[in-house]
Every structure is written in structure tokens, then in C-alpha cells.
């Protein structure tokens, strides 16, 4: 695991985008594993700029997203399909037919999870998987558990997540209670993994992920077992690691 220092969110975003850009340049028909949330927004902006400048061509790339809420259609502004279209896909020249995301409208969870695993496998696997990290160490929707979930599966959202999402929906009954997510095995099968983190509230979990034991109660700790993981995190997110294990961080200014 390599852990690269960035001064702030913007530098984290530029570094992460440069690593993804390198993948697209070196392998124009690569498979990009993508994430939603606030962490990747700056990275996606930088990739869009790279495309607009003529430096990046996504026409032969494919994409596979980590997760999607159950029950939401692609045009629902809370769906991850909508997020990806609005924040990346519509701004670059990726062929939408080559983008993949679990189908939240398929009520048959078993069939949908099987279909999604087969779709990712048919792409030949993910070349570079972009990840954010939850405060509790979740990656995708793989929440702390007693064991590592393997393939794509359906998760029941915690009451805390459901309550937090209520503000985005007109009616409480419209708030999703379940989501489909790639499993830990699917994520770990990516050839390269790039995890980004920003902000002091991520600092304790970044330390646990990188320097703590590998346990399913901290799902991201499993990344220590992958042989090509790069973490790009900003100074605030690295603050605990820099204090307790500074030798693990590359590029930090000398104290």
C-alpha cells in the first residue's frame, strides 16, 4: 500500500485524476471502476478538464460503478446512475453503452447481483478501482460486519443512513432502504485500487485502515492485502497517521 500526501482536497483530486489519466493513456480501452460521493467530485472535474483540453480520450473506456440504491430509477436525482451522468459521463466522450451500474429497479436481488458480477467479469475485470471511504471504514456499501462479503450483494441500509437520506426525498416511503454493492472480492479483484480521502473526520479511519489489523469490522483494512493500492489523502485525513506512523506516508512536508 502506497500512501501519498496531498496538501488539500484540490491537490488530492489532481493527483488522483493524474493516476486515472495515466491508466487511460496507457490502456485506452481500460475498465474504470468508479465511485460516487463527495470525495471523487474534484477528481471527476480534473478528468473532465483533461478531456476538454484534448489530453484524454474516453471513447474506448468502459466503466463499472461500485453501488446503487435499490428502487431508484436512473433519472431519480438521488440515484448513483444520475450522479455519474451529471458529474462525469455527460461531460466526456465515454460511450454510455459501456457504462455499468447495478440496476436499482430490479427487485430480484439475486438475479441482479449475478447479472452485475457477470457484467464486470465480461469486461475482463476492473483495471483501476476508485474508492472513497466511510467514517466507519466502509468501501462501496460494504459496512463493518463479522465477515467480508464476496460478490455483488444487496445490503440493508442502517437506520442512520435512511434517516440522513430522508431530507432528499419528498416522501419518507420513497427513501431507499436497500442498496446493491460490489463485494469485497469484486473490489479486491481490481488490478489497481486508488482510494481517496479528505478531511479530519476521516483521519482516525485512515489510520486504522493502513496501520490497524485486517478485520471485517474495518472493511477497508482488507486493502492491505492487495498488491497495488494507492491512497491519496489530504493533510487533514492523514493527520493521525502522520502523528503515529509517519514512515507510511510519502511526500509529506518535514515537520
234 is catalytic: no
98 is catalytic: no
Asked if 169 and 175 touch (Cβ cutoff 8 Å), the reply is: yes
Other residues' Cβ atoms within 10 Å of the Cβ of residue 88: 24
Q: Which is nearer to ligand F6R, 40 or 50 (CB)?
A: 40
Asked if 140 and 40 touch (Cβ cutoff 8 Å), the reply is: no
Chosen residue from 2, 25, 38, 228 binding ligand F6R by CB under 6 A: 38
104 counts as binding ligand F6R under rule CB under 6 A: no
Place of cell 483530486: 13
**Minimum distance between the CB of residue 7 and ligand F6R, rounded to whole angstroms?**
19
Q: Which is nearer to ligand F6R, 56 or 101 (CB)?
A: 101
Total binding residues for ligand F6R by CB under 6 A?
A: 14
138 is catalytic: yes
Complete DSSP assignment for 64-105: EESEEETT--TTSTTSHHHHHHHHTGGGS---GGGEE---TT
Pick the catalytic residue from 65, 100, 127, 138: 138
Q: Which is nearer to ligand F6R, 23 or 198 (CB)?
A: 198
Give Cα 255 to chain centroid, integer Å: 31
Reading across the β-sheet that carries 128-131, which strands appear in turn? 99-100, 62-65, 31-34, 128-131, 192-197, 229-234, 2-6, 249-250
Kindly write out the interface string for residues 146-165 of this chain, putting x where it contacts ligand F6R by CB under 6 A and - elsewhere: --------------------
Residues forming contacts to ligand F6R in the complex (CB under 6 A) are: 35-39, 66-67, 132-134, 138-141
Q: Give the residue numbers annotated as catalytic, written as ranges.
A: 67, 136, 138, 143
Amino acid at each position: 500500500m502506497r500512501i501519498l500526501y496531498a496538501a488539500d482536497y484540490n491537490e488530492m483530486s489532481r493527483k488522483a485524476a493524474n493516476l486515472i489519466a495515466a491508466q487511460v493513456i496507457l490502456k485506452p480501452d481500460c475498465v474504470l471502476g468508479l465511485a460516487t460521493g463527495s470525495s471523487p467530485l474534484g477528481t471527476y472535474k480534473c478528468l473532465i478538464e483533461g478531456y476538454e483540453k484534448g489530453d484524454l480520450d474516453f471513447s474506448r473506456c468502459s466503466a463499472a460503478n461500485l453501488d446503487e440504491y435499490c428502487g431508484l430509477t436512473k433519472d431519480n436525482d438521488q440515484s448513483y446512475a444520475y450522479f455519474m451522468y451529471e458529474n462525469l459521463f455527460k461531460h466526456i466522450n465515454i460511450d454510455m453503452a459501456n457504462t455499468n451500474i447495478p440496476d436499482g429497479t430490479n427487485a430480484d436481488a439475486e438475479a441482479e447481483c449475478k447479472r452485475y458480477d457477470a457484467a464486470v467479469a465480461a469486461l475482463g475485470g476492473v483495471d483501476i478501482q476508485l474508492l472513497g471511504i466511510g467514517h466507519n471504514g466502509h468501501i462501496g456499501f460494504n459496512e463493518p460486519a463479522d465477515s467480508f462479503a464476496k460478490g455483488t450483494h444487496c445490503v440493508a441500509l442502517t437506520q442512520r443512513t435512511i434517516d440522513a437520506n430522508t431530507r432528499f426525498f419528498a416522501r419518507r416511503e420513497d427513501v431507499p432502504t436497500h442498496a446493491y454493492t460490489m463485494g469485497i472480492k469484486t473490489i479486491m479483484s481490481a488490478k489497481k485500487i486508488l482510494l481517496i480521502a479528505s478531511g479530519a473526520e476521516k483521519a482516525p479511519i485512515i489510520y486504522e485502515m493502513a496501520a490497524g489489523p485486517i478485520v471485517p469490522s474495518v472493511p477497508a483494512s482488507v486493502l492491505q492485502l492487495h498488491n497495488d493500492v494507492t491512497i491519496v489523502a489530504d493533510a487533514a485525513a492523514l493527520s493521525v497517521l502522520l502523528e503515529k506512523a509517519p514512515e507510511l506516508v510519502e511526500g509529506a512536508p518535514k515537520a
